[in-house]
Chain A
Amino acid sequence: MVFNSFGFLAFIIPVVLLYWIFFRKSSRLQNIMLLLSSIAFYIIGDWRFFVLLAISTLINFYLGISIHNQKNDKKKSLTLRLGVILNIGLLLYFKYFNFFITEFSELLNIAGLQSLDTLNIILPLGISFYTFQLLGYLIDVYNEEVEANHSLLEFSVFVLFFPKILSGPIERATNLLPQLQKVKEFKYEVFVDGLRQILWGLFAKVVIAENCAALVDSVYVDYESQPGSTLLIGAFFYAIQLYADFSGYSNMAIGVAKLFGIHLMRNFSTPFFSVNIADYWRGWHISLTTWMMDYVFTPLSFMLRKYGRQGLIISIVATFILVGFWHGANWTFVVYGLLHGLYFIPLVYSGKMNKSNDELNGLIPSAIGLIKMLGLFLLIVLTDIFFRAPDLSDAFKYFEILFSASLFKRPDIMIGSTTNFTLLFMSIYFAVEWIHKKKSHDFEISKAPLVVRWASYVTIFIAILVFGRSSETFIYFQF
């Protein structure tokens, strides 16, 4: 069930009302309501894998306790390893089995042996997201960053909480569990802020992302017969689509959680307003990037610390290849991750990783800041071609045409009124983001005068009704 559907509206209204009217007395009651609605939400989405999710939750719950109770260091680490193997194993089976079989079969073919058959495997809803959340939990318990949770009810809500089960944010125990242990009190400002964030996310999804998608699809469907200039425009709109789709989804997820008084972690923080690649990743899919930093990059760079800069570069590139591969079993994602890893190399050598840049501070950016920002954006646009292309050969072909002489031809795209409106709304969207780049989210207008607030709501609402396109899915649901 997608957030931008009437089905979801019919689901969320009674759930919120029941939660605040009949279940507000204790955290236990609130958690019961959250768990029941989350189970219903998941089963409505795809009942086939609910049992898998339930068993996975149960096993990880007991693994956490077992890691916590184990006094013997060796056994503690063994239990953690067991947990890691179990979780990764499930993910590998459901998400990557066919990929490895296909690749392995090709090797067998080359060697003249009979190839293996792939299985008909369906990806369980949200598995990439909840697996990572569970892995993070077990590692945190092992590192004594969090206490093992001893309430199956709380733990189940931690895993299943429906606003984030399908596509994140990939939550951390340190953030979410303490909130589930307390009574959530109804706060008008938080509730309204949640609604605001949902509206903004909905606008991003159905007006920006979906209108861009229509353009992008028309380019990709027969890209071979289009001039390079059209392909560049297609790539540009795809970068915007991907961002609006996933950040829009994330804003809706975070907004829905706020309706229950729960604060999920921020997932996007104006990534396009960055002057270097490190900055960009600090703002893009934050819950995945910080997860990878904590559980992959840090241990890896610690292991390789004797090798100085080379060690760091290897750690970064390996981490980003994994970030890419996390998106799916396709070489395109591996290349996408590899390229992003490689973009870090100049930064490592210049030593400007975390240097706070003030080039984009203030309402008007400095000229040099603007040039860097646009340069980085172009790099992202081009790299996203690997993200969108069905396979590597298509991606390379796309590049070949894009960088041919036809890049300077008149683009073939139909510039109709929809495109003009899409461009207009995109400008408004990014202008609003720019103004709020230091706020807790992109549409935090609680301090704006009443007239401005309501004028914004009404405008966005009308834009959604008139220019919004319906869609039954989000790009990140497939991951």
Chain B
Amino acid sequence: METSLIKEKIKDVLISVLDHNNFEMTDDLTAKDVDGWDSLSHMMIISKIEEMFNIKFKLRDLNKLKNMGSLVQVIQSKL
């Protein structure tokens, strides 16, 4: 799947969980930059992304997630 399409889908997930779209989907976007993306909503976002792409994360994958770029990479590696 193309990176831009993956990002588009992630964006949909974020909007559905966080209820707003006040963020730019750049590679260096981090959770801190997005209002409401906290340690609590994080797992909901992760779970929704798994559903959306029909993939399964491992706990160790989560440690690799530093920003949007790395999230896209991890998802891509699982498709």
Q: List 15 contacting pairs A-B, 8 Å CB cutoff, sorted by A.
A: A144-B60, A293-B39, A298-B59, A299-B59, A301-B40, A301-B43, A302-B43, A305-B43, A305-B47, A308-B44, A309-B44, A312-B40, A312-B43, A354-B36, A355-B35
Neighbouring B residues of A312 by C-beta, 8 Å: 40, 43-44
In angstroms, Cα B63 to Cα A46, docked, is 38
User: Are the C-beta atoms of B36 and A351 separated by less than 8 Å?
Assistant: yes
Q: Tell me if B41 counts as interface (CB < 8 A to partner A).
A: yes
Give the Cβ gap from B51 to chain A, nearest Cβ, in Å. Answer: 10
User: Are the C-beta atoms of B39 and A353 separated by less than 8 Å?
Assistant: yes
- Which residues of B does A touch, CB under 8 Å? 35-41, 43-44, 46-47, 57, 59-60, 62-63
Give the Cβ gap from A77 to chain B, nearest Cβ, in Å. Answer: 11
In angstroms, Cα B43 to Cα A394, docked, is 40
Number of A-B contacts (CB under 8 A): 48
State which size class the interface on A falls in: 20 to 34
User: Are the C-beta atoms of A311 and B43 separated by less than 8 Å?
Assistant: yes
User: Are the C-beta atoms of A354 and B37 separated by less than 8 Å?
Assistant: yes
Neighbouring B residues of A355 by C-beta, 8 Å: 35-36, 38
Q: Which 3 pairs from chain A and chain B are nearest by CB? A: A354-B38, A305-B47, A353-B38
User: Are the C-beta atoms of B44 and A305 separated by less than 8 Å?
Assistant: yes
Q: A298-324 CB contact bits vs B (8 Å, 1 = yes)?
A: 110110111011011000000000000
Question: Which of A304, A306, A353 gathers the greatest number of chain B CB atoms within 10 Å?
Answer: A353
In angstroms, Cα B37 to Cα A306, docked, is 18
Q: Tell me if A145 counts as interface (CB < 8 A to partner B).
A: yes
Q: A302-B46, A305-B47, A306-B47 are in contact. Are A353 and B60 (CB under 8 A)?
A: no
User: Are the C-beta atoms of A297 and B63 separated by less than 8 Å?
Assistant: no
Give the Cβ gap from A10 to chain B, nearest Cβ, in Å. Answer: 45
Of chain B, the residue at the smallest CB distance from A312 is B40
In angstroms, Cα B18 to Cα A353, docked, is 12
Give the Cβ gap from A218 to chain B, nearest Cβ, in Å. Answer: 41
Q: Which of A372-430 contact B (CB under 8 A)?
A: none
Neighbouring A residues of B59 by C-beta, 8 Å: 298-299, 302
Neighbouring A residues of B40 by C-beta, 8 Å: 301, 312, 348, 351, 353-354
In angstroms, Cα B60 to Cα A309, docked, is 22
Give the Cβ gap from B37 to chain A, nearest Cβ, in Å. Answer: 7
Of chain B, the residue at the smallest CB distance from A301 is B43
Of chain A, the residue at the smallest CB distance from B19 is A351
Question: Which of A306, A308, A309, A354 gathers the greatest number of chain B CB atoms within 10 Å?
Answer: A354
Give the Cβ gap from A440 to chain B, nearest Cβ, in Å. Answer: 19
Q: Tell me if A5 counts as interface (CB < 8 A to partner B).
A: no
In angstroms, Cα B62 to Cα A145, docked, is 12
Q: Tell me if A473 counts as interface (CB < 8 A to partner B).
A: no
Q: Tell me if A181 counts as interface (CB < 8 A to partner B).
A: no
Of chain A, the residue at the smallest CB distance from B63 is A143
Neighbouring A residues of B36 by C-beta, 8 Å: 351, 354-355
User: Are the C-beta atoms of B60 and A354 separated by less than 8 Å?
Assistant: no
In angstroms, Cα B56 to Cα A305, docked, is 12
Q: Which of A334-352 contact B (CB under 8 A)?
A: 348, 351
Neighbouring B residues of A351 by C-beta, 8 Å: 36, 40-41
Give the Cβ gap from B76 to chain A, nearest Cβ, in Å. Answer: 20
Neighbouring B residues of A297 by C-beta, 8 Å: 39
Of chain A, the residue at the smallest CB distance from B18 is A351
Neighbouring A residues of B37 by C-beta, 8 Å: 354
Neighbouring A residues of B47 by C-beta, 8 Å: 305-306, 308
In angstroms, Cα B60 to Cα A306, docked, is 18
Neighbouring B residues of A301 by C-beta, 8 Å: 39-40, 43
User: Are the C-beta atoms of A143 and B60 separated by less than 8 Å?
Assistant: yes
Give the Cβ gap from A259 to chain B, nearest Cβ, in Å. Answer: 33
Neighbouring B residues of A302 by C-beta, 8 Å: 43, 46, 57, 59, 62
User: Are the C-beta atoms of B46 and A305 separated by less than 8 Å?
Assistant: yes
Neighbouring B residues of A293 by C-beta, 8 Å: 39
Of chain B, the residue at the smallest CB distance from A145 is B63
Of chain B, the residue at the smallest CB distance from A316 is B40
Give the Cβ gap from B64 to chain A, nearest Cβ, in Å. Answer: 9
In angstroms, Cα B39 to Cα A54, docked, is 37
Give the Cβ gap from A320 to chain B, nearest Cβ, in Å. Answer: 13
User: Are the C-beta atoms of A353 and B41 separated by less than 8 Å?
Assistant: yes
Of chain B, the residue at the smallest CB distance from A354 is B38
Question: Which of B38, B39, B62 gathers the greatest number of chain A CB atoms within 10 Å?
Answer: B39
Q: Which of A106-140 contact B (CB under 8 A)?
A: none
Neighbouring B residues of A304 by C-beta, 8 Å: 43
In angstroms, Cα B41 to Cα A238, docked, is 35
Of chain A, the residue at the smallest CB distance from B45 is A305
Neighbouring A residues of B35 by C-beta, 8 Å: 355
In angstroms, Cα B59 to Cα A144, docked, is 12
Give the Cβ gap from B71 to chain A, nearest Cβ, in Å. Answer: 15
Of chain A, the residue at the smallest CB distance from B51 is A306
Neighbouring B residues of A311 by C-beta, 8 Å: 43
Of chain B, the residue at the smallest CB distance from A297 is B39
Give the Cβ gap from A174 to chain B, nearest Cβ, in Å. Answer: 12
